[in-house]
Each structure stands twice: as structure tokens, then as C-alpha cells.
């Protein structure tokens, strides 16, 4: 047999394994990767004018930064709420944890729009929450939860919280209880057990949850548009407008590409920040 | 790859589908047989509309009538989407037999060559107003108006805003406003408030309009995106007055919400239907539009949802008590102006970018 | 047994613990003298792990007193007990290096950084891992991990060291080596130690004292020699080592009936007994048997050749068989199954046994 430059020393078994993988890979490439690449290819046009415009136009700069910041806020809040929640679920008797999960997943069983309008009813100036607070005498004038950043954050956190809780729950379930006992027995007070042992051990979950929530939050546009009262603009909204209203797909592709790269960079940065050092799973 | 999908949301998902379709399915259009005199009846046609209450009413009146008359099932999808239309036409894989097109999008679609020509031998436009009778591509299905709506509990009796000048006067009429998150018509409203005569609006003095809008910007609680949101803002008290589509306000007024419409300065325009270029069963699409041009269903439709048709005879079928809530009611019609969608189609994109910038400025 | 509070070491007084209706510990009393190594030996479910958890403070007793170095620690939190524990799975912190693991208990005690460094180094040197300080636990072998766990448990000079079946995961050869290492370290550092195991051989090798546990009680506390040679009851006799054990009916004089037409002469001494046993090495072959108090003739059953010794069963009747273990060099040849042979043992080789509690 001729052994050319590209011949690889692979066993029959390896080859048959690769052979088995070809159809799905081809399928994914053809149906998914290729369209994406073709679409993104539009960004390059003949000249890089679309790309230049998407990074140099102050409007898109501003929206890009707002979008990334929004993602970071949502991720941060999801972490703060999700961590204790995941912990509680992980130590609950399984039957109660199931009930907890049902509540957590409730938003997924309602349509995005219904969910969003429900928040509008709850959070509005005459909404349930304001009426309750005023009825209790806690506030005199209605608080503006809606049509600003707080409304957007509430709406997005509601939807994205499970994406933080599930990876955390999974990791927390697998934390070896004897490690916590060991730390306790070795003289660590509760908060040090948490900081030195529990937190580092759940770091992979924090990392997975954060990247997931961050990446997902970047793609939101209906929720910010509705609950932000028009004041919170996201890149997804800008891209959607280019595609749908202006029919400028090449520029949409350029914006998508910029957002994709920034999302990847922030995700990697987030990973670096949280990972610290290699952890045994 | 999941990441990319999420990054750009449904818009990207649509694009992916469209592009994939381009790659894999450029055949069906080319292979479809030449049309015979009376093409065979398909099992179904697909009509793409705005969904929601509008779709429910369309089904009750127009779709049902079509199904009864021809024995062809009407399947519905939503919402109108210019991007999707373009993707379908480009791929030659057009799902929609007929689609609704909102406002300026209809004109954009016509300009982009995405529409099938109307067959005026099938669709009878003779009872329509003179200027609509020779329509080539866009079927004038009905009219709607972006009007000023206000809370009657805040402004009872005669002490309510009666013009856009009043709307912009936060001293005389205190309280938060809501406006649609688009420059379309908001620029017109600003210019009317600033004293421009309705017949002198176009071409719009964009700088002057933005300058006027600056004065009210911080009194706008909600820049709304969807029709439901526009009236929600008023019902919830987020705003005491705002713009909304007339049918939306009327629907809530019928339910007893403390709202009223000020027709003065309302922006009236067509809601359009069209047949996408290369649509399968386009003959039956023409047949559907012919039905939609008839006065009786148009009258019934207006009675239910408040959006009258443009067949002049349809007024015969409109109930007397609902007529005053129609934008075409003579007293109302004379107070409003027709939005120049052609002007917007030519000048809109740059203004929309400026609008996005303006909204985000503090 | 009379329990006096001692100034040093560990004293358990009347410890009781139930889980619902299940009685895990029933009135456990135990003294572990300073520098002693006591093994809690018993089958699973005997209560030894519960007792360990109560000593460590991970569980609280329903009643009774745990006192360590003279102080009642029954209600003291685990973190404040000053007990170094080695867990069954070692419980090394996977995200910390070997040195960081060992430094952990010292850091919790706000010891100066420089001193921590020295003491960690000393501890790792003692377990011969000073060259692995920067590795992560998962980069070490099972035996090395075990030694890190040990170093972490003694580095802060605890008042007591607890080991919970620490060698279960290791293969036999490594286990024997580490058993000796643990014993050497424990003696060198003078650590008061409680060691939980279900492995009787391990208990015999390691212990100053063995507490044999069953049904939530200590069945016998004694030196390895006591436990092996003078089991307090039938459970201990069966649990530790091999034996020929029979139900027995006392007869006149120092004799007992163990089967149809079979009587055994014993040395007496016990109060209430209903069984007796003979350890296999006490059973002598034919030549020596003559002149002994008990001589039986039987048929050789199973023979296991172990190199330096053989183990065999001699059936003296349908129901009664004796196990014997002999050094091969003392025998003219290896008996063959089916052979007829005589065996015997002295009356003082017979242990009378009552039921365990």
C-alpha cells in the first residue's frame, strides 16, 4: 500500500469509528455550519466596510457594550440568586427538590410573550407588586420596576435562572460530603469551609452556569424591548432590525460576527476568571 | 454552534433556515407545472397574518368564508416578516400563499420585487376609492390609524388633550406619555405639534421633528414595541396618554377601560395583503383576495375589530353604533392624515438609525 | 468495669444512640489511654462507625459523656474538638495540593506562615512524601493519598487521631505495609488513636487494645492476645480467628458433651456457658496426641497446603469436625484426605463460651 504524505497510521477500528461519525458531521456541516458561514461571509462583502461600520459607529459600539453589560448583570444576579437556591435544592429531600424544580421550570412552559406580559401586569405602576407595597404602607408612590433596566433584569433573570441552577445543582449533588466533614473536623469554621472547600469545589458549576446564562442573555431581544420600555437596546434587536426591516443582511452579518467574537471573548475571560486553577471534577 | 444561534435569537434562526433552504431546495419552484386555466384545487393554502385577535377575527369572517366557498382549507401562520419573505422568495421555497405586510414593509417588498402581481380580472377593485383601483402588487385590505389615546379618569369631560400640541404640552396635561419605538409617525406627530399643517408634512423636516421630540422625551414612560404593550401601558397607568392603533383602544373601551380616542391628527394608513412572488397556488391566493375585496365581510370585520375595509360599499354592512369608532367615519377621517409610506420607504432607514441613536441618548 | 475520669486520653461513658426504633449504640463504655491505639472491630452494622462519628462530633449521642484529655466534649462542635481524622476515602481536598491539604488544619489555627511551612514539611517527611508537596491528590497513588490523609490528621498535634477503615481501598500487600507505618508513626508521635476496622487481622497487628463490637455494644475489650486466646463470648470467638466451635452441654466434673457419644474435658472457670471452642493450632497430630486429656479419632477431610503450614479438617463424627493447623516441618508428611488419624488437645486448650450480649 502506498503511504503518502497524508497517510495516517490508524487502526481499522479507528477508521470505522470515524466512518460512523461522517454522516452526522456532514449533516451538521451542511444544515448548520455552512448556512452560518455563508451568512457570516456576507459581512466581508468586497470591502470590509460593514465590519468597519459595525465597530466604529458609536450607536453599535454603545449597544454592544450595553448588551455585554446586560449579560454580565444578568449573570451576576442569577449567580447570587441561583447559588443558594441550588444549594437548598441539593440538600432537600428529593421529593421536595422536585417541587422546587417544577417552580423553577414553570417559565419554560409558558410562551415568552405571555411570560413577559405577566411581568408587566405584576410590575406595573398599578401592578400587583406596587399595590401590595402601597397597601402595606411600605411606599407612598409606585416604584418604577417597569420600562427601565430593572424590569429587563427581572424578566431575564426569571427565564435564565434555571440555566444557572441546573449546572450548580449537578455539581453540588456530587460534592463529597466527607470533604466538608473533614474540613470541619480539621478545625474550619462554617464560613471557611464554604470559602476554602465548598466554593472551590462548586466552581465548575459556577463556571458552566455563568457562561450558559451569559451567552443566552446576549441573544435576548423581545424581553428587553418590552420590559425596558424601549430604553434597553440589545445587539440582537439591532441585528433583527437589519434583517427584518432594512433587509441589509450583510451588515446584519457583520454585527453578528462582532457580537459572536465579543461573546466568545467574554465567555473565555469569564472562564479564566473563575477557573483559577485546574479542578478535579 | 448553539451559542451563535442564541446570540442573534430568532432572527438568526430564521436566517439559518432560509439559507439552508436555499441550499437544499431550489427545485420545487422550477418544477411546478405551468398554470392551467383553472388550476386544480389544493388541499390548503397558507395565509400569514398578524396573529392574535386579528387572526381570530380574520378566521371567523374571511378564512371561513373562503373555506366554505372553495373547500380549500386555510392554514395560518404569523407574524408578517419582511426578512422571512425575502428569504422565502430568494430560496424559491415560498410557504405563504398570501401574507399580510404592515405599513412601510409592503412598499419595501414591492420595491424589492418580492410580490406577485395582483390579477385585477379576479380581484374586483372597482368599488374602491379612485386611487386604489389600479393597484399592481399591494392589496389594500383595510385601514388602521395610529391615534392618540388617553385615560378618561385623568382627563374627564372636555378637559382632555385634543391635538398633538396638547400631547406635547406636559404643563397643561401632566403625566407620562407612551409612544411607539419608531420614528414612523412620531416625527409627523411632533411636526403637527410644532405647528406644521397636515397637508405640508411631507417631505418631513426631520431635524425639526427630532428637536420637538427632545422636549417630550423625558416624559415618555414607555417606548412601546407591540400593539398589546401600547394599550397595556395606558391600562396599567404607566402613562396617562399615548399612541396606539385604533382597534386596540376600541377593544378595551368596549370592555369598559377608562380610555378614549382623540382622532385629531391620527395617522391613517393601509393594512396590506399580498401574494409572495413564486407562491404555490397563487391563483387561489388571488381568489382569496377577491373574497377579501367584497363589501359584506369587510363590514362584518370592521364591526368586530374596528378596522374597516376600503371597499366603499362596505359601510352598508357596518353597524351604525360602531361606525363612529372607525378611522374612515367621515368625522374622524377629516381629522386625520394619511401616512406617506412611500416617502418612508425611501427615507426611512437612515431616520430609523438616527432614532435608535436618539432613544439611547440621555 | 469501673470508669474513672482520667486526665489524659479518651473516655466514653454510657454512650447511647438510636435512629428511630433502631438502637445503634447501647451503653458503650471505653477508655483509651494516652498514646494508646484502640481498635473498634466489628462487622458492619455493629455500631463502630456511629461510635466514631460521636467521638468526632459529627453526630451527638442521645445520652452519655465523651471526654477527651479530661474535658467533657460531648456537646463541643467538631471543629473545636482537636481531633485528627482520616476518612475511609481519605477526603483529601481535590483542589488543593498535597502541601495545601496538610497545611489546612494549621491555617485554621492561625499559626504563623513560616511555622506552617516547617510543620508541613516535617509531616510530609514523616510519611515520606516531601517530594510530592506540590502534586494534586489525584496525581498520587492510593497509598500515597492515604499517607497524605494521615499527615493531615496528625500535623496539628491533635489530642486524638481517628481512623475510619482507612486501608479498605488498598491492596493486601500495600495494606500490610501501611499498617506497620501507621503503628510506627502513632507510637513515635505518641498519638492517642482510635482505629475502626472490620478486618480482624488488621486489628491484631495494630492494636494495644481491641474493642470487639456487635449489636451496638462492646462485646470484649482487651489486648490482641486476650481477644484471641480468651474470647469473652461466642461472638468474639467466631469473629476473631478460626476455631472448632460446638454447642456444649455441661456434664459432671470438668466435662461437656458436644455430640452423640462425644465428650470433652475442659479446664473449667466460666460461669454460664453453652458452647466451647478449640483454636486450630491447639489441636495436635496423632503422635503428640497420646497422653492429652482429649483424644479423638477421625477421618481427614479437606486439606489445605499453605507452604509453611497445613490446615486440615478432621471429621470425628457425622456432625463434629475439628480444624487443625500444623507447621509442615513438624510433620513426617502431609496427611491425605480419607486417611484415618488421631488428634488431641489439652483440657486448658478448651475455651468455654457464653452467648454474647
Note whether B225 and A225 are within 8 A (CB).
Answer: yes
Q: Verify whether the Cβ–Cβ distance A245 to B222 is below 8 Å.
A: no
Residues A149, A75: Cα–Cα separation, whole Å: 14
Mapped to the 3 state alphabet, what secondary structure does C152-189 carry? HHHCCCCCEEEEECCCCCCCHHHHHHHHHHHHHHHHHH
Instruction: Indicate whether A195 and A79 sit together in one domain.
Output: yes
Give the model's pLDDT for residue C8.
Answer: 73
- Give the residue on A whose Cα is nearest the Cα of B362: A231
Decide if pLDDT at B240 tops 50: yes
Which residues of chain B have a CB within 8 Å of the CB of A62?
360
Residues A244, A76: Cα–Cα separation, whole Å: 32
What mean pLDDT do residues B61-85 have? Answer: 94
Q: How many beta carbons lie within 10 A of that of residue A135, not counting itself?
A: 9
| φ/ψ of residue A56, rounded to 5 | -100, -25
The runs of H, that is alpha helices, within chain B are 2-24, 27-31, 52-58, 64-70, 82-91, 104-111, 164-167, 186-193, 206-214, 227-235, 246-254, 282-292, 295-305, 330-333, 341-360
Cell numbers standing for residue B75: 392554514
**B34 band by pLDDT with thresholds 50, 70 and 90:** very low
Q: Quick one: how far is CA A26 from the chain centroid?
A: 28
Look at the block and give the residue holding cell 483440657. Answer: C347
**A5 band by pLDDT with thresholds 50, 70 and 90:** very low
Q: Verify whether the Cβ–Cβ distance B15 to A243 is below 8 Å.
A: yes
Q: Verify whether the Cβ–Cβ distance B356 to A239 is below 8 Å.
A: no
Decide if pLDDT at A175 tops 70: yes
Cβ burial A243-257 (10 Å sphere, 16+ → b, else e): bbbbbbbbbbbbbbb
Decide if pLDDT at A12 tops 60: no
DSSP letters, C313-348, are: EEESSSS-EEEEEEEGGGSSSPPPTT-EEEEEE-GG
Which run of H or of E encompasses A66? Answer: helix A58-91
Give the model's pLDDT for residue A266.
Answer: 86
The phi-psi region of residue C90 (left if phi > 0; otherwise alpha if psi is between -120 and 50; otherwise beta) is: left
Which residues of chain A have a CB within 8 Å of the CB of B229?
117, 120, 226
Which residues of chain C have a CB within 8 Å of the CB of A203?
95
Domain-embedded: residue A130 = yes
The alpha carbon of residue A272 is apart from the nearest alpha carbon of chain C, in Å, by 16
Decide if pLDDT at A7 tops 50: no
**B21 band by pLDDT with thresholds 50, 70 and 90:** very low
Give the model's pLDDT for residue B24.
Answer: 44
Give the model's pLDDT for residue B308.
Answer: 94
What part of A 122-151 touches C (C-beta under 8 Å)?
Answer: none
Instruction: Indicate whether A153 and A252 sit together in one domain.
Output: yes
Residues C261, C253: Cα–Cα separation, whole Å: 17
Of B19, B181, B221, nearest to A38 by CB-CB distance is: B19
The alpha carbon of residue A197 is apart from the nearest alpha carbon of chain C, in Å, by 7
How many A/C residue pairs have CB atoms within 8 Å?
A: 71
Q: How many beta carbons lie within 10 A of that of residue C33, not counting itself?
A: 15
The alpha carbon of residue B349 is apart from the nearest alpha carbon of chain A, in Å, by 6
**A13 band by pLDDT with thresholds 50, 70 and 90:** low
Average pLDDT, rounded, for chain C: 89
Residues A97, A86: Cα–Cα separation, whole Å: 10
Cβ burial B158-185 (10 Å sphere, 16+ → b, else e): eebbbbbebbbeeeebebbbbbbbbbbb
Decide if pLDDT at C76 tops 90: yes
Note whether C190 and C35 are within 8 A (CB).
Answer: yes
Give the model's pLDDT for residue C214.
Answer: 93
What mean pLDDT do residues B67-90 have? Answer: 93
Instruction: Indicate whether A33 and A150 sit together in one domain.
Output: no
Average pLDDT, rounded, for chain A: 86
The phi-psi region of residue C269 (left if phi > 0; otherwise alpha if psi is between -120 and 50; otherwise beta) is: left
What mean pLDDT do residues C192-213 have? Answer: 93
Note whether C204 and C228 are within 8 A (CB).
Answer: yes
A near C: at least 3 beta-carbon pairs less than 8 Å apart: yes
Chains within contact range of chain A (3+ C-beta pairs < 8 Å): B, C
Which run of H or of E encompasses C309? Answer: strand C309-315
B near C: at least 3 beta-carbon pairs less than 8 Å apart: no
Residues C301, B62: Cα–Cα separation, whole Å: 100
CA proximity to A116, closest of A74, A152, A72? A152
Lowest mean pLDDT among A218-227, B21-30, B148-157, B241-250: B21-30
Instruction: Indicate whether A100 and A238 sit together in one domain.
Output: yes
Decide if pLDDT at B248 tops 90: yes
Pick the CATH number of B37-143+270-331 from 1.20.120.550, 1.10.8.420, 3.40.50.720, 3.40.190.10: 3.40.190.10
Lowest mean pLDDT among B72-86, B152-166, C237-251: C237-251
Q: Verify whether the Cβ–Cβ distance B82 to A244 is below 8 Å.
A: yes
Domain positions in chain B: 37-143+270-331, 144-268+337-360
What part of B 227-246 touches A (C-beta under 8 Å)?
Answer: 228-229, 232-233, 236-238
pLDDT digits (tens, 9 = 90+) for A99-138: 999 988 887 888 877 888 888 888 888 888 888 999 898 8
Q: Verify whether the Cβ–Cβ distance A260 to B4 is below 8 Å.
A: yes
Residues C190, C157: Cα–Cα separation, whole Å: 10
| φ/ψ of residue B121, rounded to 5 | -75, -25
Note whether B279 and B94 are within 8 A (CB).
Answer: yes
Which residues of chain B have a CB within 8 Å of the CB of A151?
none
Which residues of chain B have a CB within 8 Å of the CB of A38?
19, 23
CA proximity to B318, closest of B159, B77, B143? B143
Domain-embedded: residue A205 = yes
The alpha carbon of residue A243 is apart from the nearest alpha carbon of chain B, in Å, by 6
Residues B178, A272: Cα–Cα separation, whole Å: 44
Decide if pLDDT at A210 tops 80: yes
Give the model's pLDDT for residue B104.
Answer: 87
Which residues of chain A have a CB within 8 Å of the CB of C108?
186-189, 192
The phi-psi region of residue C331 (left if phi > 0; otherwise alpha if psi is between -120 and 50; otherwise beta) is: beta
What mean pLDDT do residues B226-255 have? Answer: 93
Give the model's pLDDT for residue C290.
Answer: 64
Note whether B255 and B88 are within 8 A (CB).
Answer: no
Q: Do domains B37-143+270-331 and B144-268+337-360 have the same CATH topology?
A: yes
Q: What is the DSSP code (8-state) at residue C208?
A: S
How many A/B residue pairs have CB atoms within 8 Å?
A: 154
Chains within contact range of chain B (3+ C-beta pairs < 8 Å): A
Q: How many beta carbons lie within 10 A of that of residue C1, not counting itself?
A: 7
Instruction: Determine contact: A23 vs chain C, CB below 8 A.
Output: no
Give the model's pLDDT for residue B100.
Answer: 96
Domain extent at residue A7: 1-44
% of chain A exceeding 90 in pLDDT:
47
Q: Verify whether the Cβ–Cβ distance C156 to A187 is below 8 Å.
A: yes
Q: Which residue has the higher pLDDT, A191 or C168?
A: A191
User: How wide is the angle at C-alpha C203 spanned by C-alphas C201 and C204, nearest 5°?
Assistant: 65
Residues C165, C90: Cα–Cα separation, whole Å: 10
The structural domain count of chain A equals: 2
Instruction: Determine contact: B356 vs chain A, CB below 8 A.
Output: yes
Give the model's pLDDT for residue B8.
Answer: 41
Could you tell me the strand order of the sheet in which C244-247 lies? C244-247, C275-278, C351-353
What mean pLDDT do residues C250-279 have? Answer: 85
Q: Verify whether the Cβ–Cβ distance A246 to B349 is below 8 Å.
A: yes
Instruction: Indicate whether A98 and A149 sit together in one domain.
Output: yes
Q: Verify whether the Cβ–Cβ distance B357 to A59 is below 8 Å.
A: yes
Within chain A, strands assigned E span none
Instruction: Determine contact: B90 vs chain A, CB below 8 A.
Output: no
The alpha carbon of residue A134 is apart from the nearest alpha carbon of chain B, in Å, by 15
Best mutation target among A235, A245, A266 (most B Cβ atoms within 10 Å) is A245
Instruction: Indicate whether A84 and A193 sit together in one domain.
Output: yes
Q: Verify whether the Cβ–Cβ distance B82 to A229 is below 8 Å.
A: no
Decide if pLDDT at C295 tops 90: no
Q: Verify whether the Cβ–Cβ distance B238 to A146 is below 8 Å.
A: yes
- Residue A196: give its domain's CATH number: 1.10.3720.10
The alpha carbon of residue A118 is apart from the nearest alpha carbon of chain B, in Å, by 11
What mean pLDDT do residues A41-49 have? Answer: 82
Q: How many beta carbons lie within 10 A of that of residue B99, not counting itself?
A: 32
Lowest mean pLDDT among A28-37, A78-87, C60-69: A28-37
Paired with C30 in beta bridges are: C12
Residues A143, B79: Cα–Cα separation, whole Å: 34
Q: Which of the listed ranges A163-167, C228-232, C261-265 does the model predict with the highest average pLDDT?
A: A163-167
Cα A132 to Cα A122, A126, B190: the distances in Å are 10, 10, 38
CA proximity to B219, closest of B164, B178, B267, B259? B178
Q: Verify whether the Cβ–Cβ distance A36 to B4 is below 8 Å.
A: yes
Lowest mean pLDDT among A80-89, B165-174, C138-147, C258-267: C258-267
Q: Verify whether the Cβ–Cβ distance C91 to A176 is below 8 Å.
A: yes
Q: What is the DSSP code (8-state) at residue B137?
A: S
% of chain B exceeding 70 in pLDDT:
90
Domain-embedded: residue A193 = yes
Note whether B228 and A114 are within 8 A (CB).
Answer: no
% of chain B exceeding 90 in pLDDT:
78
Q: Which residue has the higher pLDDT, A279 or B170?
A: B170
Residues B210, B346: Cα–Cα separation, whole Å: 19
- Give the residue on C whose Cα is nearest the Cα of A198: C93
CATH number of B144-268+337-360: 3.40.190.10
Domain-embedded: residue A51 = no
Which residues of chain A have a CB within 8 Å of the CB of C95?
200-201, 203, 277, 279-280
Amino acid at each position: 500500500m502506498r503511504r503518502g504524505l497524508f497517510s495516517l497510521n490508524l487502526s481499522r477500528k479507528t477508521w470505522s469509528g470515524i466512518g460512523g461519525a461522517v454522516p452526522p458531521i456532514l449533516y451538521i456541516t451542511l444544515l448548520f455550519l455552512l448556512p452560518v458561514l455563508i451568512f457570516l461571509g456576507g459581512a466581508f462583502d468586497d470591502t470590509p466596510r460593514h465590519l468597519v461600520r459595525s465597530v466604529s459607529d458609536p450607536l453599535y459600539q454603545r449597544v454592544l457594550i450595553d448588551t455585554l453589560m446586560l449579560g454580565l448583570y444578568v449573570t451576576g444576579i442569577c449567580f447570587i440568586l441561583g447559588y443558594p437556591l441550588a444549594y437548598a435544592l441539593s440538600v432537600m429531600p428529593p421529593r421536595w427538590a422536585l417541587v422546587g424544580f417544577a417552580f423553577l421550570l414553570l417559565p419554560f412552559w409558558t410562551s415568552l410573550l405571555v411570560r413577559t406580559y405577566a411581568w408587566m401586569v405584576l410590575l406595573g405602576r398599578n401592578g400587583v407588586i406596587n399595590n401590595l407595597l402601597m397597601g402595606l404602607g411600605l411606599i407612598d408612590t409606585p416604584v418604577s420596576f417597569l420600562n427601565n433596566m430593572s424590569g429587563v433584569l427581572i424578566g431575564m433573570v426569571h427565564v435564565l435562572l434555571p440555566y444557572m441552577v441546573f449546572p450548580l445543582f449537578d455539581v453540588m449533588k456530587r460534592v463529597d460530603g466527607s470533604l466538608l466533614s473533614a474540613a470541619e473536623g480539621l478545625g474550619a469554621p462554617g464560613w471557611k469551609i464554604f470559602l476554602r472547600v465548598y466554593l472551590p469545589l462548586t466552581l465548575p458549576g459556577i463556571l458552566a452556569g455563568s457562561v450558559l446564562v451569559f451567552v443566552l442573555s446576549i441573544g435576548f431581544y423581545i424581553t428587553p424591548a418590552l420590559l425596558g420600555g424601549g430604553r434597553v437596546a440589545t445587539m440582537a434587536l439591532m441585528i433583527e432590525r437589519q434583517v427584518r426591516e432594512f433587509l441589509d443582511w450583510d451588515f446584519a452579518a457583520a454585527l453578528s460576527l462582532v457580537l459572536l467574537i465579543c461573546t466568545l471573548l467574554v465567555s473565555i475571560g469569564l472562564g479564566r476568571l473563575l477557573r483559577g486553577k485546574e479542578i478535579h471534577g | 454552534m448553539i451559542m451563535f444561534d442564541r446570540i442573534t435569537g430568532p432572527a438568526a434562526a430564521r436566517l439559518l433556515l432560509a439559507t439552508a433552504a436555499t441550499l437544499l431546495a431550489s427545485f420545487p419552484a422550477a418544477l411546478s407545472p405551468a398554470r392551467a386555466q383553472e388550476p386544480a384545487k389544493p388541499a390548503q393554502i397558507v395565509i400569514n397574518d398578524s396573529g392574535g385577535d386579528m387572526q381570530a377575527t380574520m378566521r371567523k369572517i374571511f378564512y371561513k368564508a373562503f373555506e366554505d366557498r372553495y373547500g380549500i382549507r386555510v392554514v395560518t401562520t404569523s407574524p408578517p416578516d419582511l426578512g422571512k419573505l425575502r428569504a422565502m422568495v430568494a430560496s424559491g421555497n415560498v410557504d405563504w400563499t398570501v401574507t399580510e405586510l404592515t405599513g412601510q414593509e409592503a412598499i419595501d417588498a414591492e420595491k424589492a420585487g418580492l410580490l406577485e402581481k395582483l390579477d385585477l380580472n379576479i380581484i374586483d377593485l372597482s368599488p374602491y376609492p379612485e386611487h386604489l383601483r389600479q393597484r399592481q402588487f399591494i392589496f389594500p385590505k383595510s385601514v388602521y390609524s395610529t391615534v392618540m389615546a388617553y385615560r378618561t379618569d385623568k382627563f374627564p369631560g372636555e378637559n382632555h388633550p385634543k391635538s398633538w400640541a396638547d400631547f406635547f404640552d406636559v404643563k397643561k396635561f401632566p403625566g407620562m406619555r407612551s409612544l411607539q419605538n419608531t420614528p414612523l409617525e412620531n416625527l409627523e406627530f411632533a411636526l403637527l405639534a410644532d405647528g406644521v399643517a397636515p397637508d405640508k408634512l411631507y417631505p418631513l423636516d426631520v431635524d425639526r421633528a427630532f428637536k420637538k421630540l427632545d422636549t417630550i422625551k423625558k416624559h415618555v414612560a414607555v417606548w412601546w414595541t407591540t400593539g398589546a404593550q401600547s394599550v397595556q401601558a395606558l391600562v396599567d397607568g404607566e402613562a396617562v396618554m399615548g399612541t396606539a392603533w385604533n382597534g386596540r383602544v376600541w377593544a378595551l373601551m368596549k370592555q369598559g377601560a377608562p380610555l378614549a380616542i382623540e382622532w385629531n391628527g391620527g395617522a391613517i394608513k393601509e393594512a396590506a395583503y399580498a401574494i409572495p412572488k413564486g407562491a404555490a397556488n397563487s391563483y387561489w391566493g388571488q381568489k382569496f383576495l377577491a373574497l377579501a375585496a367584497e363589501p359584506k365581510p369587510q363590514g362584518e370585520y370592521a364591526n368586530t375589530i374596528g378596522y374597516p375595509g376600503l371597499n366603499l360599499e362596505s359601510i352598508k354592512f357596518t353597524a351604525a353604533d360602531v361606525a363612529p369608532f372607525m378611522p374612515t367615519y367621515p368625522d374622524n377621517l377629516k381629522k386625520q392624515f394619511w401616512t406617506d409610506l412611500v416617502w418612508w420607504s425611501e427615507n426611512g432607514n437612515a431616520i430609523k438609525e438616527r432614532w435608535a441613536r436618539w432613544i439611547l441618548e440621555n | 468495669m469501673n470508669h474513672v475520669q482520667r486526665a489524659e486520653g479518651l473516655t466514653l461513658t454510657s454512650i447511647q444512640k438510636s435512629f428511630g426504633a433502631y438502637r445503634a449504640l447501647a451503653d458503650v463504655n471505653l477508655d483509651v489511654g494516652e498514646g494508646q491505639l484502640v481498635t473498634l472491630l466489628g462487622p458492619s452494622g455493629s455500631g463502630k462507625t456511629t461510635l466514631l462519628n460521636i467521638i468526632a462530633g459529627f453526630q451527638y449521642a442521645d445520652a452519655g459523656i465523651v471526654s477527651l484529655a479530661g474535658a467533657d466534649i460531648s456537646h463541643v462542635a467538631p471543629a473545636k474538638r482537636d481531633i485528627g481524622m482520616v476518612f475511609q476515602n481519605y477526603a483529601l481536598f481535590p483542589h488543593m495540593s498535597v502541601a495545601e491539604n496538610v497545611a489546612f488544619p494549621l491555617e485554621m489555627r492561625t499559626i504563623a506562615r513560616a511555622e506552617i511551612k516547617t510543620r508541613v514539611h516535617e509531616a510530609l517527611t514523616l510519611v515520606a512524601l516531601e517530594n510530592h508537596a506540590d502534586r494534586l491528590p489525584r496525581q498520587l497513588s492510593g497509598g500515597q493519598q492515604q499517607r497524605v490523609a494521615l499527615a493531615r490528621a496528625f500535623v496539628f498535634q491533635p489530642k486524638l487521631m481517628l481512623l475510619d477503615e482507612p486501608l479498605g481501598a488498598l491492596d493486601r500487600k500495600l495494606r500490610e505495609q501501611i499498617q506497620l507505618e501507621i503503628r510506627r508513626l502513632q507510637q513515635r508521635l505518641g498519638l492517642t488513636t482510635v482505629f475502626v476496622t472490620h478486618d480482624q487481622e488488621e486489628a491484631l497487628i495494630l492494636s494495644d487494645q481491641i474493642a470487639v463490637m456487635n449489636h451496638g455494644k462492646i462485646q470484649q475489650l482487651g489486648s490482641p492476645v486476650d481477644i484471641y486466646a480468651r474470647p469473652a463470648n461466642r461472638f468474639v470467638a467466631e469473629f476473631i480467628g478460626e476455631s472448632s466451635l460446638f454447642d456444649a452441654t455441661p456434664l459432671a466434673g470438668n466435662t461437656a458433651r458436644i455430640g452423640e457419644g462425644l465428650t470433652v474435658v475442659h479446664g473449667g472457670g466460666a460461669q454460664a456457658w453453652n458452647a466451647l471452642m478449640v483454636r486450630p493450632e491447639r489441636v495436635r497430630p496423632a503422635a503428640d496426641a497420646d497422653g492429652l486429656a482429649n483424644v479423638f479419632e477421625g477421618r481427614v477431610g479437606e486439606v489445605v497446603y499453605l507452604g509453611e503450614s497445613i490446615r486440615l479438617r478432621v471429621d470425628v463424627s457425622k456432625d463434629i469436625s475439628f480444624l487443625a493447623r500444623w507447621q509442615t516441618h513438624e510433620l513426617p508428611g502431609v496427611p491425605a484426605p480419607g486417611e484415618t488419624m488421631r488428634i488431641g488437645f489439652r483440657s486448658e486448650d478448651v475455651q468455654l463460651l457464653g452467648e454474647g450480649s
